[in-house]
Structure 1
Amino acid sequence: MPSEHPQPLFVLVRPQMGENIGAAARAMWNFGLDRMRLVAPRDGWPNPAADAMASGAGRLLDEAMLCPDLPAAVADCSYVFATTARQRELTKPVFSPERAMQVAAEKIAAGETVAVLFGPERAGLENEDIARANAIISVPVNPDFPSLNLAQCVLLTGYEWRRNTGEVAPEVVAAGKSGWASGLEIEKLAEHYEAQLHEAGFFFPETKADNMKVNLRNLWSRMPLTQADVQMLHGIMRQMVRWKRRGG
């Protein structure tokens, strides 16, 4: 049976070689992790090649949960990380391995079930897989050679789970395909809303109008808006004005 020690689930998504599954199990057990899930292994399961590479961690393979697809593998999880060494066009929080495992520890301590996804050896996780995750773990590899062996990635993440101390990189949020909104775009959005809200009589009473406008500007500057966000917010206001002018 898996240990009672609280820990994240390590989910190997469509792993290709049994040897790498065994090596991943060995890496997990090096750091006291023994909750492995396998999503549609290419060469079927069980796999004798995995047993040969596990080297003392065969119990993890015996107890690994075999899942037909990724949704089934994370159905009981409240927070999911996806590991990748490549930049993705998806707007998600992006963590360093150190920070990710710190967040995982905090969530698990609060009673949540956390999973970490690892992709197949050849190309890693697909965007469809990453879209099902809550956040990304970005592995700081050489950009000229980003390919990372499956077991190595598992080892790195397991090490950070075990260590879980020291200075960590700050959390960031990727802007996705549209990119972050510029200062000018934010300014135009603020002007649009201020003008329409003024026409609607929102800034009342007059003695508080200036302070209300400052607070509204501060709201826009405090929000991490992408260009797509700004376009949508402009569209919302335009549609509300059209609706009102048609008589509701």
Structure 2
Amino acid sequence: MTDPTDTQASAAPILRGRQLTRVFGEGATRVEACSGVDVDVRQGELVVIRGRSGSGKTTLLNLLAAVDRPTSGSVWLGELELSAATEDELVRVRRDRIGFVFQGFGLIPVLSATENVELPLRLLGVPADERDERVARALEDVGLTGHAAQRPPEMSGGQQQRVGIARAIVSEPEVLFADEPTGQLDSMTAAATMDLLVTLVRQRGTAAVVTTHDPLLVARADRVLELHDGRVVDETHPAAG
């Protein structure tokens, strides 16, 4: 029988970062927040980036997600070099191929859960019938079918984060990014959110890159990149053990 870990390891990466460097400021205020980092991420793989505050993990996540451009180095999503793409190309990539889960949820307070999740599909021009079906499925995947009509202020933090995850996956992205997705949640809700993220990656075969301090999520990752002063100082494979 073929070991799925071996198959995953041999697959071509969907996301590649090469010698990624990001510098902020000049002269005395110059900070190299990311320095010569190489990253490969494959489909169905959960990669965790961790490190102390100021280690560069959010900077690296933003470079990989095309939220920011590197000072030098390159990022590739499939055959598209994101670091050299035009702004119009990046808008399309963020809309069509990438999902992002924010620590602060990033929901529109006056819209219902359904309307928040539906937004990416409206931007994609998905027909109404298909939109309804995909939104219902995404809310079911995150266990919020019964809360579809509620607005964010009427929901708990964990429920809001689940809406954010549903919104990130409804367009069926190639790569899912999450910045400290459990950072504002209590331990029980955080554990449930971690279970959900891991299940989605495993079942959908989505690539996922997550920054976190949470040791429970770290323990379930396929790979963990430890950052210190903008450099990868260690790489481990917890899930393989």
- Shorter chain as denominator, the TM-score bin is under 0.3
Structure of larger gyration radius: 1
TM-score (normalised: structure 2): 0.23
Structure with bigger strand share is 2
The higher-RCO structure (CA 8 Å, 6+ apart) is 2
